[in-house]
Structure 1
């Protein structure tokens, strides 16, 4: 067998959409996860790490290294969002304990050791706050140039925020870390700059009950997986496929959250889209920009500010995703994750 085309370091705050991103990568034959760094964000870091281990075990994945990362942001108190992702970060789902152990390395050491051991080979994917990566860059300033590429789910540009009127969740949890990371990637050429998947694009990735039905169908799961806004919080999936059953319970919680915030019975799947971009950047159109992060504004702390035209006389430090084809993305996701769930179940 040929080696996977993409080896990744995945840094997550798992999270419902992070969960689906992990499953997407596990379902992708061209992807190999070299290590998973856990960071506090959607839920505390110990729960994040447990979620990662439990999903890997449920999916029968290899013994991928899962490292415990930052418990708190660089310079502010931790905020979590159980109202969005549930008390354990996975909605209504309750995953069986994995019996697997955490790495003896912490997440910072994992990042540094892997990029030093495999210079130019690894793609970094961050779908949570950037705390672990900022700490790793402090330890190894050459890290941005040792990576093949970085993809980040974070930021909001020509779009409202989802945490404050102007800020996106991952960046708002640790604005200092986001600024340190974006600054550290300055000077890289086109093709090596980080790709930022911000709310401008990720909020077009609207998962609906029909996508869940199609996933279950692709997995050969029975009965038909029909989720509804009329389902009460006590309702649980009866899907025969264990991956579909737990995924459906997680996603329905996420849809309930969006519905109660007047966005419809759907779920914005920010992180799976970023995972897909990490494997195939061509699925999104990007524009280069210089991005900085507001640190001190009373109303605007955590806002990602993009200079598209050179007002600051600074070279671009990122490529921002500006458009994609959501229907094509979901066709790909349903096919990959559905077939993978079928092979597991």
Structure 2
């Protein structure tokens, strides 16, 4: 009987190890910490190898602090945070000021944002410099980032797990471009790239002022989107790198979505107490940009319309700087553009249901 018990324990241990090994490996490359990160961290079949940070909505040092603190709140300090690029490859705050003087005002400038051009319901974020001390409203992290550069970490992980690592990028693509330039085999060694960025021809579909305020950015400039506009040169490098598979979530499907107070309350109710407080404090009124990227990777069945296109980004310093460029196969310039599955529409209710369900996964595991 004792021998049988020992054998059973061994078999269960082997089964647990196999289950761990079968989890899908992912690296999150982003400029902060939000619901998208929680979705991937909570998913039981996902192994988050690390979070790499980059400047975009905020500077990289602030994004790193936000990720560290978010992981502490989520009880996932086992996940390393690796700080990445502070500056875009070529673009800069001064260049953006010069561009605006020539071609008009940008709706959102991320870390360079000082005020909205016109009144909006969304709060105006405080302005910081790239080296300013970081103090977060939710408390400063006690954990520290990994002693490594994000581009090197990305290369190291795809070389450790060739063909297994998905990279989900929801900010500017600077880290990925640097990794590709450092190691030309980088993109081909990854399993796939999923990123939120670019814009084709979004149309406002929700009948409320809050969402409309964000859609106004695309009325006259439908091909411009912040992540790619912040570092167009990086976006172009990544678009022409030899990935095995690329999935792009442009702005277009996000106009059907919104981070409403009701959705946040549903998620908070499903989450454990520490996460519930964190989720409940989030500001409502934003589309679910990054959450779509995580959602379509976790559940591709929520994609209701997709299109295969060849994608690049405009790197000429003119009125279309950073705009998304797209072609069907026979019309592409053939300068290295890669085919990408572009998500056009999704099942919004299915995404929201997934978000709520995932918030309860950790409680079940406990």
Global fold match (TM > 0.5): yes
The match for 1:276 among 287, 295, 307 is 295
Partner Cα distance (2:149, 2:286) in 1: 32
Q: Which residue of 1 aligns with 2:349?
A: 327
The match for 1:10 among 28, 32, 38 is 28
Q: What displacement does 1:298 show? A: 2.4
Give the secondary-structure state (helix, strand or coil) at the position aligned to 1:298.
coil
Q: What displacement does 1:297 show? A: 5.2
Are positions 1:194 and 2:246 aligned together? yes
Q: What displacement does 1:183 show? A: 0.7
Is the 2:267–2:279 contact (alpha carbons within 8 Å) kept by the matching residues of 1? no
For structure 2, the residue ranges without an aligned partner over 5 or more in a row are 1-15, 94-108, 116-121, 129-135, 204-214
Answer with 1 or 2: which has the greater Rg: 2
Q: Which residue of 1 aligns with 2:319?
A: 299
Give the secondary-structure state (helix, strand or coil) at the position aligned to 1:207.
coil
After the TM superposition, which of the residue ranges 46-55 and 288-297 deviates more from structure 2?
288-297
Closer/same/farther in 2, CA of residues 30 and 342 from structure 1, 3 Å limit: closer
Give the secondary-structure state (helix, strand or coil) at the position aligned to 2:240.
helix
Q: Could you tell me the TM-score, scaled by structure 2's length?
A: 0.76
Q: Which residue of 1 aligns with 2:41?
A: 26
Partner Cα distance (2:70, 2:293) in 1: 19
Q: What displacement does 1:296 show? A: 1.6
The structure carrying a bigger helix percent of its residues is 2
Q: Which residue of 1 aligns with 2:226?
A: 169
The match for 1:97 among 140, 145, 152 is 140
Q: What displacement does 1:70 show? A: 0.3
Q: What displacement does 1:313 show? A: 5.7
Q: Which residue of 2 aligns with 1:35?
A: 50
Structure-to-structure mapping, 1:42-61, within 5 angstroms: 42-61=57-76
For structure 1, the residue ranges without an aligned partner over 5 or more in a row are 221-240, 256-265
Give the secondary-structure state (helix, strand or coil) at the position aligned to 1:150.
strand
1:154-191 Cα offsets, whole Å, 9 max, x none, are 00012278488231110000000000000113xx6xxx
Is the 1:196–1:319 contact (alpha carbons within 8 Å) kept by the matching residues of 2? yes
Are positions 1:66 and 2:115 aligned together? no
Partner Cα distance (1:67, 1:151) in 2: 19
Is the 1:216–1:338 contact (alpha carbons within 8 Å) kept by the matching residues of 2? no
The match for 1:181 among 220, 234, 238 is 238
Give the secondary-structure state (helix, strand or coil) at the position aligned to 1:96.
coil
Q: Which residue of 1 aligns with 2:258?
A: 206
Are positions 1:216 and 2:268 aligned together? yes
Q: Which residue of 1 aligns with 2:212?
A: none
Is the 1:243–1:341 contact (alpha carbons within 8 Å) kept by the matching residues of 2? no
Task: Point out which structure has higher relative CO (alpha carbons under 8 A, 6+ apart).
Answer: 1
Partner Cα distance (1:318, 1:135) in 2: 21
Please provide the CA RMSD for this pair. Answer: 2.5
Q: Could you tell me the TM-score, scaled by structure 1's length?
A: 0.80
Q: What displacement does 1:242 show? A: 2.8
